[in-house]
């Protein structure tokens, strides 16, 4: 096998290599012979199909599969022989008319020098679930199941108010005719804060006109950045009615016996699981920020950074579309993500280097524990576990996540660190 590597930049590389022809022919011949023994073709007895028929029927496909496999195998072998640390996937292209000469272009991991994690200073946050946190969660669950009943009084904080509105922004009336109808829960932020606060003290049938100064980034273009006269008319006021924490309420959350002690125990388990994840995320961010600060001057592979920026843009667009927004990002929109992408790539490469240099291995038990932890948040945990086991892409993503967590923990244990206690609510606040 002939291999040559040249630099195309500080981190860019161009590798030319030749596939071993005899190995390609051997692989193709072996696969065709295997097919001749097992394949069933109408008009021929099993195992008696002539080689020419096998070649005509399967030769092209077998050759393509063999070429692809040998290409990857040869490239990986060349990378190992040249002691290269790749950053991202290579681009493989034929070098000429033949199928044996290839060119791979790729980027390599930068030289981080001595990675001394003991010099890092990390804050490790701690927290615990208290009875007050469980009480608050039960109150939140009651709020989720609340009902509303009309009242003949002025609206107060927490009431649901139905109303009609129209606005005058300079010479423009919105809507041009009639009124807009809607409802808001005072204090929820569904409507602009000034409007919600103006509803406090208004009863059914009351009308009021207020001046609202909308911010420049307001979601309604006709109102954004303008001082607007908003006319309000309350058509209904309803107060919330919270359900009692009785057996029926508790049963509705899956506690079959309706036992409050078991209900609180289940809530504690769920909150502790949420807290564990939140503290792990905080530690990951803390270690990541320290790594970024320590190695910010190291040049990053630009193609890898750009790919990450495009992926981040794609995630944002997909999230917007799930919310019903039709988003068409302009050309070059990914450039707004380049700084964040560069930091993410830096942390990812450093984590990989720490794992490689210290021979850190993926812990299968931790993978299983994390998978079961994720599955426990669903109604059918075993189905989720089976989904992971049968989907290589999902399992690969899970393994990458667990490996990163392992390395982050390894770094945090060896770094200088101080503990900082947080309340549960502060700990889970992102």
Distance in angstroms (rounded) separating the CA atoms of residues 430 and 427 = 8
Q: What is the DSSP string of 171-204?
A: TEEESSSS-EEEEEETTS-SS-HHHHHHHTT--T
Low-confidence ranges of the chain (pLDDT < 50): none
Q: Looking at residue 50, what is its pLDDT?
A: 81
DSSP 130: -
Distance (Å) of CA 293 to CA 118, 121, 287? 14, 11, 10
Residue whose tokens read 């101080």: 418
Q: Parse the chain into domains and list their residue ranges.
A: 3-107, 117-130+251-428, 147-241
Q: Any idea how long the chain is?
A: 430
Run of H or E residues at 401: helix 392-414
As a CATH number, domain 147-241 is 3.10.50.40
Is residue 143 within 8 Å of 242, Cβ to Cβ?
yes
pLDDT digits (tens, 9 = 90+) for 255-291: 988 999 999 999 999 999 999 989 999 999 999 999 9
Q: Around Cβ 110, how many Cβ atoms within 10 Å?
A: 19
Q: Looking at residue 14, what is its pLDDT?
A: 95
Distance in angstroms (rounded) separating the CA atoms of residues 387 and 375 = 10
Give 399's Cβ-side CA count (13 Å radius).
12
Q: What is the pTM of this model?
A: 0.72
CATH topology for the 117-130+251-428 domain: Trigger factor, domain 2 (1.10.3120)
pLDDT digits (tens, 9 = 90+) for 16-33: 998 888 888 888 888 888
CATH topology for the 3-107 domain: Alpha-Beta Plaits (3.30.70)
Q: Looking at residue 1, what is its pLDDT?
A: 64
Nearest to 245 by CA among 153, 134, 319: 134
């Amino acid at each position: 096998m002939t291999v040559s590597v040249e630099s195309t930049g500080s981190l860019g590389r161009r590798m030319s290599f030749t596939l071993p022809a005899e190995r390609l022919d051997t692989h193709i011949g072996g696969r065709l012979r295997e097919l001749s023994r097992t394949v069933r073709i109408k008009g021929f007895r099993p195992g008696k199909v002539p080689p020419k028929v096998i070649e005509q029927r399967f030769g092209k496909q077998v050759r393509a599969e063999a070429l692809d496999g040998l290409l990857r195998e040869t490239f990986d072998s060349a990378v190992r022989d040249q002691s290269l640390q790749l950053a991202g996937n290579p681009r493989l292209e034929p070098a000429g008319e033949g199928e044996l000469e290839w060119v791979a272009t790729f980027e390599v991991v930068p030289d981080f020098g001595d990675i001394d994690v003991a010099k890092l200073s990390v804050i490790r946050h701690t927290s615990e679930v208290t009875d007050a946190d469980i009480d608050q969660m039960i109150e939140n669950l009651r709020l989720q199941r609340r009902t509303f009943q009309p009242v003949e009084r002025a609206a107060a904080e927490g009431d649901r108010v139905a109303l009609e509105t129209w606005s005058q922004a300079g010479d423009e009336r919105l809507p041009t005719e009639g009124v807009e109808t809607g409802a808001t829960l005072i204090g929820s932020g569904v409507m602009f804060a000034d409007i919600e606060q103006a509803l406090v003290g208004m009863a059914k049938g009351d009308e009021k006109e207020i001046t609202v100064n909308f911010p420049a980034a307001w979601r309604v273009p006709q109102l954004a950045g303008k001082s607007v006269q908003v006319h309000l008319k309350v058509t209904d006021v309803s107060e919330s009615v919270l359900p009692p924490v009785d057996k029926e309420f508790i049963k509705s959350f899956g506690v079959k016996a309706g036992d409050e002690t078991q209900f609180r125990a289940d809530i504690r388990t769920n909150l502790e699981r949420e807290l564990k994840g939140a503290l792990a995320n905080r530690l990951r961010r803390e270690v990541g920020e320290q790594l970024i600060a320590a190695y910010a001057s190291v040049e990053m592979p630009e193609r890898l950074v750009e790919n990450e920026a495009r992926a981040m843009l794609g995630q944002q667009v997909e999230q917007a579309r799930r919310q019903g927004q039709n988003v068409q990002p302009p050309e070059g929109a990914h450039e707004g993500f380049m700084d964040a992408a560069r930091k993410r790539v830096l942390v990812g490469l450093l984590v990989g280097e720490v794992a490689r240099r210290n021979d850190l291995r993926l812990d299968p038990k931790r993978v299983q524990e994390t998978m079961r932890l994720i599955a426990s948040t669903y109604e059918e945990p075993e189905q989720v576990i089976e989904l992971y086991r049968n989907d290589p892409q999902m399992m690969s993503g899970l393994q990458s996540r667990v490996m990163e967590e392992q390395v982050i923990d390894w770094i945090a244990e060896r770094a200088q660190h101080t503990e900082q206690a947080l309340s549960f609510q502060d700990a889970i606040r992102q």
